[in-house]
Amino acid sequence: MAEGLHGREKLVFLETFGCQMNENDSERMLGLLKGLSYTRTKDPSDADLIIINTCSIRDKAEQKVYSILGRFKSLKKERPWLVIVVAGCVAQQEGEKLLKRAPHLDIVFGPHNVHKLKELLLQADSGRKVVVTEQTGEISPEEYGIEPVELEEKAFVSIMRGCNNFCSYCIVPYTRGREVSRKSADILSEIEGLVEKGIKEVTLLGQNVNSYGTGGGGDDMSFPELLRKVCRVEGLSRVRFITSHPKDISDELIRLFGEEPRLCRHVHLPVQSGSDGVLAAMGRGYSVEYYLSKVWLLKKLYPEMAITTDIIVGFPGESEADYEATMSLLRTVRFDNIFSFMYSPRPGTTAAGLPDQIPLEVRSERLQRLQEEQKEITNERMRGLLGRTLDVLVEGESKIDASELSGRTSCNRIVNFPAPVWLQAGPGCLIEVTITEAYQNSLRGEVRAAGC
Ligand code: SAH
Ligand code: SF4
Ligand code: F3S
**∠ Cα 197 201 206 (to 5°):** 110
**Ligand positioned closest to the Cα atom of 175:** 3
Say which CATH topology domain 10-132 has.
Rossmann fold (3.40.50)
The Cα 335–Cα 370 span in angstroms is: 13
Based on its alpha-carbon atoms, the radius of gyration of the chain, rounded to whole angstroms, reads 23
Report CA(153)–ligand 2 centroid distance (Å): 29
The ligand whose atoms approach the alpha carbon of 313 most closely is 1
DSSP string, 413-433: -EEEEPPPTT----TT-EEEE
- Measured N-to-C along each axis, helices 360-383 and 320-333 cross at an angle, to the nearest 10 degrees, of 10
Taking the centre of ligand 1 as the mean of its atom positions, its distance from the CA of residue 284, in whole angstroms, is 11
Q: What's the 418 CA to ligand 1 centre distance in angstroms?
A: 37
Q: Which atom of ligand 2 is nearest to the CA of 176?
A: 6
Cβ–ligand 3 contact at 22 (below 6 Å): yes
What are residue 216's phi and psi, to 5 degrees?
Answer: -80, 165
- Which ligand does the CA of 21 lie closest to? 3
pTM assigned to the model = 0.93
- We find that the CATH architecture of domain 389-450 is Beta Barrel (2.40)
Q: How far is the CA of 57 from the centre of ligand 3 (A)?
A: 6
pLDDT at 142: 77
Give the residue among 80, 83, 54, 81 at the shortest CA–CA distance from 67: 54
Is the CB of residue 242 less than 8 Å from the CB of residue 282?
no
State how beta strands 389-397 and 337-342 pair: unpaired
Which sequence spans correspond to the domains of the chain? Answer: 10-132, 389-450
Residue 283 CA to ligand 2 center (angstroms) comes to 10
> Could you tell me whether strands 10-16 and 38-40 are parallel, antiparallel, or unpaired per DSSP bridges?
parallel
Q: What is the C-alpha to C-alpha distance for residues 249 and 269, in angstroms, rounded to an integer?
A: 9
Choosing from 175, 243, 312, 339 the residue with most ligand 3 atoms within 8 A of its CB, the one to mutate for a pocket test is: 175
- Check if 163 has its Cβ closer than 6 Å to any atom of ligand 2: yes
Cβ-contact 364, 326 below 8 angstroms? no
Q: Is the CB of 176 under 6 A from ligand 3?
A: yes
The bound ligand whose nearest atom lies closest to the alpha carbon of 55 is 3
Residue 139 · residue 178 · CB < 8 Å: no
What is the structure's pLDDT at 140? 78
Structure confidence at residue 4 (pLDDT): 38
Measured over the CA atoms of residue 110, residue 115, residue 121 and residue 126, the dihedral's sign is negative
To test ligand 2's pocket by mutation, which of 170, 211, 279 has the most ligand atoms within 8 angstroms of CB?
A: 170
What is the model's pLDDT at position 284? 98
Q: State the closest ligand 1 atom to the C-alpha of 270, by its place in the atom list counted from 1.
A: 8
Q: Determine the 3-state secondary structure of 42 from DSSP.
A: coil
Could you list the pLDDT tens digit for every one of the 452 residues in the chain? 443 344 468 999 999 999 999 999 999 999 999 989 999 999 999 999 999 999 999 998 888 898 999 999 999 989 999 999 999 999 999 999 999 999 999 999 999 999 999 999 999 988 889 999 998 888 877 777 677 677 678 999 999 999 999 999 999 999 999 999 999 999 999 999 999 999 999 999 999 999 999 988 888 899 999 999 999 999 999 999 999 999 999 999 999 999 999 999 999 999 999 999 999 999 999 999 999 999 999 999 999 999 999 999 999 999 999 999 999 999 999 999 999 999 999 999 999 999 999 999 999 999 999 999 999 999 999 999 999 999 999 998 888 888 899 999 999 999 999 988 777 778 888 999 999 999 999 999 999 888 77
Residues lining ligand 1, Cβ inside 6 A: 57-58, 169-170, 172, 207-208, 243, 245, 270, 272, 310, 312, 341, 343-344, 346
